[in-house]
């Protein structure tokens, strides 16, 4: 395959969300692990500093939230992929915004009780704290998954071209 043909194929492949290549459970695990590891590295020190808790205390909360989020990430993305296959929509910016918002809404429902218990604060305070966290994670989720899908598509095309 010529270089210009390969580049045109890459662009068409990336722009076209009609072709859906299923991710294995192993790949989903590593995608979620990468997402959570980067989030943990950012959030634990930032949370400890902003909320005046020890790094260990915030680190453990962040790790617990991360484990919940990692499980939710794998389940939610599998459901999202199945929905895309069934409904045939493209991964446009609008679809990615909906993806990020639905993911975060489900996570809020799971994390608020955990944060309230761990930090010994009210559900309302935990909810407000979680809203602040969502304001960070909405663009983070959007960008991480977009970059992941782009790199994955390019990698898959390179494998096919070889």
| DSSP of 26-51 | HHHHHHHHHHHHHHHHHHHHHHHHHH
Query: Burial level of 45, CB count in 10 A (0-12/13-18/19+)?
Result: middle
pLDDT digits (tens, 9 = 90+) for 96-141: 899 988 998 899 999 999 999 999 999 999 999 998 888 888 899 8
Higher pLDDT, 124 or 157: 124
Q: How confident is the model at residue 27 (pLDDT cuts 50, 70, 90)?
A: confident
pTM for this model (two decimals) = 0.62
């Amino acid at each position: 395959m010529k270089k210009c043909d390969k580049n045109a194929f890459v662009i068409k492949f990336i722009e076209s969300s009609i072709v859906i290549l299923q991710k294995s459970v192993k790949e989903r695990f590593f995608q979620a692990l990468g997402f959570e590891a980067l989030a943990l590295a950012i959030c634990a020190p930032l949370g400890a500093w902003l909320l005046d808790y020890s790094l260990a205390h915030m680190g453990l909360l962040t790790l617990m939230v991360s484990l919940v989020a990692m499980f939710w990430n794998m389940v939610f993305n599998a459901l999202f992929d199945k929905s895309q296959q069934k409904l045939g929509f493209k991964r446009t910016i609008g679809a990615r915004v909906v993806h990020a918002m639905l993911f975060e809404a489900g996570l809020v429902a799971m994390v608020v009780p955990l944060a309230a218990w761990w930090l010994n604060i009210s559900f309302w305070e935990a909810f407000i704290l979680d809203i602040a966290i969502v304001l960070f994670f909405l663009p983070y989720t959007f960008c991480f998954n977009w970059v992941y899908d782009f790199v994955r598509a390019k990698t898959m095309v390179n494998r096919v071209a070889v």
